[in-house]
Every structure is written in structure tokens, then in C-alpha cells.
Chain A
């Protein structure tokens, strides 16, 4: 046995057999055909095409039923590319002219088209090279009569080990069998990490080269909280693990007692505990964990999971599911937060030296007004199904807030003129995640209905410490007094202006800080669904007045 470590991406422990999801190298056989064999070979190709197209159709239908049309669309695009006349003709011509078998003809064709896309200037089109490779691989495997290695087919208690997982993989995960996730790449905020937290799956990410040691069929123990992986554990370690698992389950069981209880400190101060989500399909987890609302719906996943711009109607349907699903509890949807570490190929935003200080979030939206208005219209339309609030990210000035509010008003007027209903009671708030917003929080508070502190970015901006850089990981400290003083100033400014303030970054779930938040009068904490009950338990255990009296002593404030 050996032990390797990575970055903790979620909670929980798991044991399972390795399912290795590698970039598979398909061995393509090459042989020459006799003239007379060619028609038979072309018929075999057609059969393979049919089978592959059907498989893609099935994937599309399953994804559509499980997670919605948006995330299913990638399979539709793949099917269109597969059945494209040019692609098929190129394969047929290669079989005829080169007298080679269908598999080799597909491989030759794949290279021609993938290269064509890979050499294009446009970032969106370059991504299509990966699509060509994907469909070609599927087709070759079908021609060879080999099963595709898909996570959907896992039928034993498994831990998936992959370089990274893509949305098309993750939507196929069956939680009855998949017990944990390990990725060699990615950080705490990677797609896989966020998904694991929402799905409440134990996950360790960013394992690096150490992960290469893991072989197909190995037994792994995964301690997600510690970020630790034990490869082929001994009997004693399995025993130890079982104890831990029982403890974790007992703790989870104990937390269930907090369902239906109030999030009130021992001296009667109420702190609303809401959930952060990324997709409409996360709504059940919000309800199961008894969150008091959605404090952050990250809308960018609608854009990132899709090969192209989601339409107003598609966005409306997604927002509607969340707004309606919460049955009148508030749902705060954050407008598109692209840029920084979140790239959306089809927007063609050029690479920047300093993406976290660059063209991102509201800066993009205020310039690409059509894009912003499409989202705002979809949001406003969803407002009639429950209690919607809109939140704008990356604000640094009053001017940005005013321009955003003008666009919201403009969209609302347009919709009303078109005879579309819009709620009259939509709160508009902003993320406080830049030092600039902290400094002018008093001015911003006069413009909006609420603040929500994005502690992940705020911490890195205040401390000038990149949260992705492992070398300075110790500097990135969410409990640093500089960060906490900034949050306290913002809370004071918010309350002075009579608006409410929440926390929606990772700090919100950090129970070391719950006392601090209570002391400065934070009104709402928004955390991943799986953390709601733990935070509620912590809130109930603290005395806010006591925390307030000890603010200076505890936190150097």
C-alpha cells in the first residue's frame, strides 16, 4: 500500500475499486481490402455510423431527462458532426481509393478534420477539434465491436480516477455505484470539485503525477476531508476506514436532527442559512438539506456546459426550475461571471496576462450588452414563478451598479411592453469581492437591496495572494485580520444604510468563522447544500453577544 495526497474538494470517506478514466488510446488495425470487398466494407461503415448515432441519441435523451436540454445538447452536436455528409464521404472515399478498412479510414479522416479545426484562430472552433476526436473514437470502437468505456456503465462500487472530468462524464455518474472521484488536475474551484460538493460525493482533486501510480482494479480508500488516498490498503487500514466511515455517517445522521430547526444563536439572533448551487438539478439537494433559500446560483455553468450560447428561452427554463422549485423562498441568481479562471470558448475572450484583474464578469456583461440583456430578460421572466433576486458580480464602482440597474429596467420595460409578466418585487444586489467595493461600500449600499461577500476572490484580492498558486497557499488565509476587517466594514456600511448582507464564499461554511459572522451581524450565510446543517448546528451553539464582546480578542478587530 501507499498513500498519496491531493486537494480536498468535498467531505466524506469512501472505499471502492478504481475505475480508470484515461484518455484511451484506441489501437486502430490497418489492412488492405480486395476490390470486391469494398462494398461490404462500406456497408459495415454505415452500420457503425447508425450504431454510433443511436448511442449519441440515447445519451442525449438520458442527459435531457436527468439534467435538462442544455447539458444534453453536446450530444446532439456530436451526432450532427458524425452524420455530416463531408465527414462520411471522406471516410467512404478513403475506403474506396486507399482500399483500407473502415477503422483506418475513420482515423485518417479524423486527422484531416481535427487538424482543420485545431489550426483555426477562433477559440470556439479550436474546441471543435476535440469533438471530432471524440466522435471518431466512438465510431472506431463501434466498428471494432468494442464497448466504449463510459462512466455510465459502472456497475460496482467504484472510485473514478481521471485526469479531469468533463460535464459529459459527470452527468452520467450513477451515485448508486460511484462512491468517490479523484482527478489528477484541477483545484478546489474546478468543475469536478464544485460538482462533487453539490452531489455530496467524496472527492480529491489536483493529485498530480502521484496519481499515475493508481492502476485499474486497485482498491482505494478516499478520505476527502484530509485529501488523502490510500492505495491497496491493509486489513488494519480497512478496519480503521470502516470506523471513520461509521463516524462520518453517525455525524451525518446527527445533523439530520437540525432539519426543520431554526438557525438562531443561543441568544436569539437569526442567521439565514442558504445554499449555493450551479444548476437547476441541484434544487433537490437544497430542499433535502432544509436550506432557507438559494444564496447563490452560479449562472455561468449554463454557459460553460453548453457548446454555444444558451438562448433566452433555455435560460428562462433553467432559472424557472430553481425559482419555482424553492416554493417562494428567495433564489439569488448571479449574472454571468465569466473570465478569471472560468473560460467560455465561444465568447472568444482573448487570453490575458492577468485574467483575475482583467476582462471578466460585469465588465464583460456591460460591454456585450446583447449577451447581458438576454440573461436579464430570462431572469426577469422567471421572477413570476417565485421570489427571485438578481446579483451582479465583480463590482468596483457605483457607476457599474447604475448601468446594470438601467439595463435591468430597460429589459423589464421591454418585457412589459411585449405583454410578458415580471414580478414587481425583485431585489437587486451585488457581490462584494474587490477591495474597491469594500472601500466604497457605503456608497454602493445606497444603490442596492443587499450585499453578498464573495470571500474567495475578496481574500485573494485583499491579500494579493493568488488562490490557485500552491507556493503561496499559506498566504491565502480567509481568517487573516485584513480580510475580516474588510468584511466587518462592509457589514457596518450595509447595516448603516438599512440593507442586509450575506456571505456566499467558501468562508460561509467555515465553522471557525461562524462566531465572527454572528458578532458582526451577518444576516445570511450561503454554503454548499451539504454544509447547511453543519452550519446551522454551529449557529445554534454560539452566543452572538459573547462573540461580539470578544471580537477584538478573538480576531484582532
Chain B
């Protein structure tokens, strides 16, 4: 299992558009990808759940990926979170 912890720098947090990009990206991988905040984990392919985490600027989230392409999957999602605003 690959896991990446990161803090959110984007001023609006994970709002609708970045969440949409995360979902699109997550679907490209076969691994099961989760994103968690304060112990609550949701699937990265689920837009509504992702939004419902209410991730704001300054929050710390953990990305975990499990499967054949877990390494690349976790990195790719982290990249989307870092760059999508």
C-alpha cells in the first residue's frame, strides 16, 4: 500500500473542479484509492463523498492506494491536488 500525506495549499480547498479532476484521474488506475481527512476516508472515484469531506485550505489529507499501480496512482492524485485550482 502506498500512502501520501499532504496539506492543502489551494485557497478554496478541494472544491468542485479539483474534486472532479481527482475523480477522473482516479478512474485511470486499477488500484483502490482513498482520500481521508480526520480519520474519515472516502473513495477517490466518488465525487459527492469527496466534496462531503469539506477539505479546506490548511487541512491535511492522506491519499492511500492499494493495487498493482498503487505507486503511480497515489503520486498522480497528489499531483492533481497540488496543481488543480
A: which residues have CB within 8 A of B? Answer: 73, 76-77, 80-81, 84-87, 113, 116-117, 120-122, 124-125, 128, 307-309, 311, 346-348, 368, 370-371
What does DSSP make chain A's interface, helix, strand, loop or mixed?
helix
- B45 nearest CB neighbor, chain A only: A85
The digit string for B49-68, where 1 denotes a CB below 8 A from any CB of A, is: 10110101000000000000
Residues of B whose CB lies within 8 Å of any CB of A are: 11-13, 15-17, 20, 23, 45-49, 51-52, 54, 56, 85
Q: List 30 A-B contacts (CB under 8 A).
A: A73-B17, A76-B20, A77-B17, A80-B20, A84-B46, A84-B47, A85-B45, A85-B46, A85-B47, A86-B46, A86-B47, A86-B48, A86-B49, A116-B48, A121-B54, A122-B54, A122-B56, A124-B12, A124-B13, A125-B52, A125-B54, A307-B15, A307-B17, A308-B12, A308-B15, A309-B11, A309-B12, A309-B15, A309-B85, A368-B11
Residue ID in chain A nearest B42 by CB atoms = A86
Q: Which residue of B lies closest to A306 (CB)?
A: B17
Using Cβ atoms and an 8 Å threshold, which residues of chain A touch B49? 86
Q: Please state if B12 and A120 are interface contacts (CB–CB under 8 Å).
A: no
Instruction: Identify the closest chain A residue to B46 (Cβ).
Output: A86
Q: 7 more A-B contacts (CB under 8 A) besides A124-B13, A309-B85?
A: A84-B23, A85-B46, A120-B54, A124-B12, A125-B54, A307-B16, A311-B85
Cβ distance B73 to chain A, nearest Cβ, rounded Å: 17
Q: Among B15, B46, B52, B85, point to the contact of A124 (Cβ < 8 A).
A: B15
Q: Are B47 and A80 in contact (CB-based, < 8 A)?
A: yes
Given A120-B52, A370-B11, A308–B46 Cβ distance below 8 Å? no
- The answer to whether B85 and A128 have CB atoms under 8 Å apart is no
Instruction: Please name all residues of chain A whose beta carbon is closer than 8 Å to the beta carbon of B47 when the two chains form the complex.
Output: 80-81, 84-87
A76 to B17 alpha-carbon distance, docked (Å): 9
- B16: chain A residues within 8 A (beta carbon): 77, 80-81, 128, 307-308
Question: Shortest distance in angstroms between A212's beta carbon and chain B's nearest beta carbon?
Answer: 34
Q: A486 vs B49: C-alpha distance in the bound complex, in angstroms?
A: 54
- Which residues of chain B come closer than 8 Å to A80, judged between CB atoms? 16, 20, 23, 47
CB < 8 Å neighbour of A81 from B48, B54, B85: B48
Find the A residue at minimum CB distance from B17: A308
Distance in angstroms from A551 CB to nearest chain B CB is 48
4 closest A-B pairs by CB: A84-B47, A308-B15, A80-B20, A86-B46
Inter-chain contacts of A121 with B (CB < 8 A):
54
A348 to B54, CA, bound (A): 12
A122 to B15, CA, bound (A): 11
- Chain B, Cβ-Cβ closest to A131: B16
Q: Separation in Å of the A383 CB from the closest CB of chain B?
A: 23
Q: How far is the CA of A189 from the CA of B84 in the complex (A)?
A: 34
